[in-house]
Structures are given as structure tokens and as C-alpha cells.
């Protein structure tokens, strides 16, 4: 029998945000399929969306005192109340503290990104689907060593039932209607995290001011 939860839309009431190992060390700077600056921007974009919609959010680190380094400091300042699961187990889903934190959210839809797509993201995403969760893997807030590795990771996750998406799709599905009270906050996130959007709005404001003189 088909589980209806896999066809429900994302909402602020049914979703949790999991940001896995977005650290400033060697893994980030080994990524080549996406510019590390853009990856970091998109991870912070997700964090700001989670804050706007008050989504239960979990942060993780892998060996933060070693070469992987600490979490992005901006993540900590954006989500100061989010629990952080420190671990040395490679697949976050094999860490009982991580799974317990996910269970405590009470949510069955997991929006998940990891600093590396093929390991930090793919391993727990596939494991969570096997455990009965509906997983949205955010590809542009994750990265890997080359496009071959990225494409292989996406194919593997898709075959396992993970939904591969991008950051703006997550934001838009949660917002769903520009008449909702979160619209101004989402607009500000778009201005901050989508430079072209901000430039267009600035140009429109400049034109309005010019026409009103």
C-alpha cells in the first residue's frame, strides 16, 4: 500500500531541517562541482528558511576538532537554539543521538543537506527513507569532488526513494502563498541569498523613485 505521507506537500507543520557537517575544514574546500561560497550561501539560506518557519532543526558535526573544522559560525548565529550532534560515525543515521534528535521532532518529512553529497547527505538520506521518513535532499546546499560523483550520488539516492531538490524549491513549497505573514521575511531572504532577485528589486525601487519625482 502506498504511504500517503510521500505525496503530501511540505509545510511548516510537517517538516524538519537537518544540516549535516557544514564545517569550514578540508571537506568544504575539496568540493568542485559547486563553488564552496555558493554551497555555504545555500546552507545559510536553508537555515534562514528554517528560522522563518520555526522548523525543528538539527545541526551535526563530524570530528570538529580535527581537519573538518567547526561549523559555519553563521549557522550558529542564525540557529542558536538548534541542537548540535557531534560524532565520529560516518553515517549520521548510525549515530543513536542523531536518530533520537530526529525522532524528538515528531516530523516525518526531513529536509536534509550535507557538506558532501555522496557521503554526508546520501548515507543518512537513504537510511532515513529505509526507516520510513520522507526525505528531501537539497543538492545545491551539498557538494562533492566532481560532477561524476555528484551525479552518481543523486542517482543512488533517487533509486532509494529520496527526493532530490534545490534550495529555492524548498523555500517556495514552504511559503506556498505570498499573502501569508511569512512573505516579507521570505522576500528578505531572497534579497540576501539570491543576488539577482535583490538587484531586480533594487532596480524596480530606483525606477519608482525616478518616476515619482
Active site residues: 120
Q: State the Cα–Cα distance between residues 24 and 34, nearest whole angstrom.
A: 15
Task: Name the residue among 162, 188, 164 with its Cα closest to residue 51.
Answer: 188
How far is residue 123's CA from residue 90's CA, in Å, rounded to a whole number?
8
Closest to 57 (Cα-Cα) out of 85, 34, 37? 85
Q: Cell numbers at residue 108, please?
A: 516525518
Q: Residue 205: which residues within 8 A CB-CB, separation 6 or more?
A: none
Q: Which residue has the cell 500500500?
A: 1
Instruction: Provide the edge-to-edge strand list for the sheet that holds 84-87.
Output: 84-87, 57-62, 15-20, 109-114, 134-138, 163-165
Amino acid at each position: 500500500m502506498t504511504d500517503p505521507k510521500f505525496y503530501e506537500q511540505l509545510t511548516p507543520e510537517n517538516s524538519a531541517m537537518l544540516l549535516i557537517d557544514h564545517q569550514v575544514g578540508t571537506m568544504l574546500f575539496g568540493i568542485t562541482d559547486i563553488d564552496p561560497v555558493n554551497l555555504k550561501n545555500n546552507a545559510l539560506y536553508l537555515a534562514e528558511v528554517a528560522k522563518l518557519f520555526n522548523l525543528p532543526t538539527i545541526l551535526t558535526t563530524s570530528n570538529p576538532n580535527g581537519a573538518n573544522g567547526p561549523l559555519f559560525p553563521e549557522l550558529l548565529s542564525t540557529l542558536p537554539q538548534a541542537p548540535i550532534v557531534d560524532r565520529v560515525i560516518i553515517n549520521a543515521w548510525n549515530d543513536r543521538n542523531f536518530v533520537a534528535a530526529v525522532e524528538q521532532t515528531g516530523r516525518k518529512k526531513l529536509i536534509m543537506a550535507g557538506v558532501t553529497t555522496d557521503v554526508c547527505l546520501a548515507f543518512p538520506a537513504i537510511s532515513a527513507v529505509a526507516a520510513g521518513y520522507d526525505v528531501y535532499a537539497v543538492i545545491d546546499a551539498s557538494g562533492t569532488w566532481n560532477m561524476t560523483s555528484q551525479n552518481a550520488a543523486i542517482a543512488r539516492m533517487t533509486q532509494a526513494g529520496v527526493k532530490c531538490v534545490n534550495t529555492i524549491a524548498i523555500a517556495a513549497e514552504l511559503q506556498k502563498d505570498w499573502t501569508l505573514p511569512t512573505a516579507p521575511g521570505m522576500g528578505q531572504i531572497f534579497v540576501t541569498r539570491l543576488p539577482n532577485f535583490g538587484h531586480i528589486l533594487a532596480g524596480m525601487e530606483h525606477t519608482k523613485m525616478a518616476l515619482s519625482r
